[in-house]
């Protein structure tokens, strides 16, 4: 499920319940995630107070005085707040017990996510080479233009490269390219500065509006059923191969780029 807007929605949902609270316990039922969950995770976390919940790319960082819990949701992960006495379901791999009967519960059928420890002052290798946040002023059309010179790979792969800009997943890469009128298979190095200005703006716009919509499910995040309405009804191209383009009515086409499905309108996107 998680693209950047959902990770951010998760962050906003859990933050008020975590900040200022002490960690009373950690239960790891299944340590085999993308990387093994460290054995000493419970020892490191118990007794620590969560000072903040931050996000970098699609990673969540639960900061304490001695370091941070680094969480990634992978393809199928979710973090929810549940009553500490709620019995775990299948694929509920990890519980972080907070100090007053609230439990932060990690669910991840495919186990592509991770739960790692990052000591205070350390720079985790997973975070070391990440590009700018898409919603920050560090990211703009100039960054895309400069970094793309000489690149032959498709522009869609290029904007999904975390060293260029973080947090642009498959859905929003497709959507932003459609809105920008750029074919996903066009070589990144052969796109003008002006078009990259538009693309950067549209990446920001598309992510921002998705976060806003994620926010609408936020109020029942605690004790919610875990299936937010999401924003599928707003998608213009993703998941719509063969259906008419919302702009010109031509059938949307699908190609695979970097093993990921890419949907576009051959008329509107050049």
| Residue 223 binding DNA, by CB under 7 A | no
Q: Give me 204's structure tokens.
A: 């920001």
Residue 217: partners with Cβ closer than 8 Å, 6 or more residues away: 9, 224, 228, 229, 230
2 is an active site residue: yes
3 is an active site residue: yes
| Residue 227 binding DNA, by CB under 7 A | no
| Residue 232 binding DNA, by CB under 7 A | yes
Nearest in space to 154 (alpha carbons), one of 141, 166, 142, 164: 164
User: How far apart (Å, rounded) are the C-alpha atoms in residues 94 and 79?
Assistant: 9
**Which one from 6, 8, 11, 58 is the annotated catalytic residue?**
58
Q: What residues between 189 and 208 interact with DNA by CB under 7 A?
A: 189
| Residue 260 binding DNA, by CB under 7 A | yes
Q: What residues between 62 and 91 interact with DNA by CB under 7 A?
A: 72, 74-76, 90-91
What DSSP designation does 148 have? Answer: H
Nearer to DNA, 49 or 251 (CB): 251
| Residue 92 binding DNA, by CB under 7 A | no
Nearest in space to 104 (alpha carbons), one of 88, 85, 82: 82
Residues β-bridged to residue 115 = 71
String marking each residue 114-133 x if it binds DNA according to CB under 7 A: ------------x-------
| Residue 109 binding DNA, by CB under 7 A | yes
Nearer to DNA, 24 or 112 (CB): 112
Q: Give me 47's structure tokens.
A: 């007794």
| Residue 1 binding DNA, by CB under 7 A | yes
Element (H, E) at 198: helix 193-216
Q: Are strands 114-119 and 253-257 parallel, antiparallel or unpaired?
A: unpaired
The site for DNA (CB under 7 A) is made up of: 1-3, 32, 34, 57-58, 72, 74-76, 90-91, 109-112, 126, 150-154, 157-158, 160, 162-163, 166-167, 169-171, 188-189, 230, 232, 258-261
């Amino acid at each position: 499920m998680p693209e950047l807007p959902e990770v951010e929605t998760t962050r906003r949902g859990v933050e008020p319940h975590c900040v200022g609270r002490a960690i009373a316990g950690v239960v790891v039922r299944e340590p085999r995630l993308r990387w093994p969950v460290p054995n000493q995770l419970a020892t490191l976390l118990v007794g620590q107070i969560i000072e903040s919940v931050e996000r970098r790319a699609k990673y969540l960082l639960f900061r304490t005085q001695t370091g941070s819990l680094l969480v990634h949701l992978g393809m199928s992960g979710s973090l929810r707040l549940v009553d500490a006495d709620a019995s775990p379901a299948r694929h509920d791999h990890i519980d972080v017990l907070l100090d007053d009967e609230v439990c932060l519960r990690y669910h991840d059928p495919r186990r592509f996510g991770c739960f790692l420890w990052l000591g205070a002052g350390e720079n985790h290798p997973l975070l070391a080479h990440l590009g700018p946040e898409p919603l920050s002023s560090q990211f703009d059309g100039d960054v895309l233009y400069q970094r793309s010179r000489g690149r032959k790979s498709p522009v869609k792969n290029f904007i999904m490269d975390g060293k260029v800009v973080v947090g642009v997943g498959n859905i929003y890469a497709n959507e932003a390219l459609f809105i920008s009128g750029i074919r996903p298979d066009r070589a990144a190095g052969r796109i003008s500065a002006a078009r990259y200005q538009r693309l950067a703006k549209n990446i920001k716009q598309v992510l921002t509006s998705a976060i806003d919509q994620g926010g609408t499910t936020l109020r029942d995040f605690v004790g919610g059923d875990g299936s937010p309405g999401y924003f599928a009804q707003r998608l213009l191209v993703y998941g719509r191969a063969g259906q008419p383009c919302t702009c010109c009515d031509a059938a949307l086409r699908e190609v695979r780029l970097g093993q990921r499905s890419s949907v576009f309108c051959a008329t509107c996107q050049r």
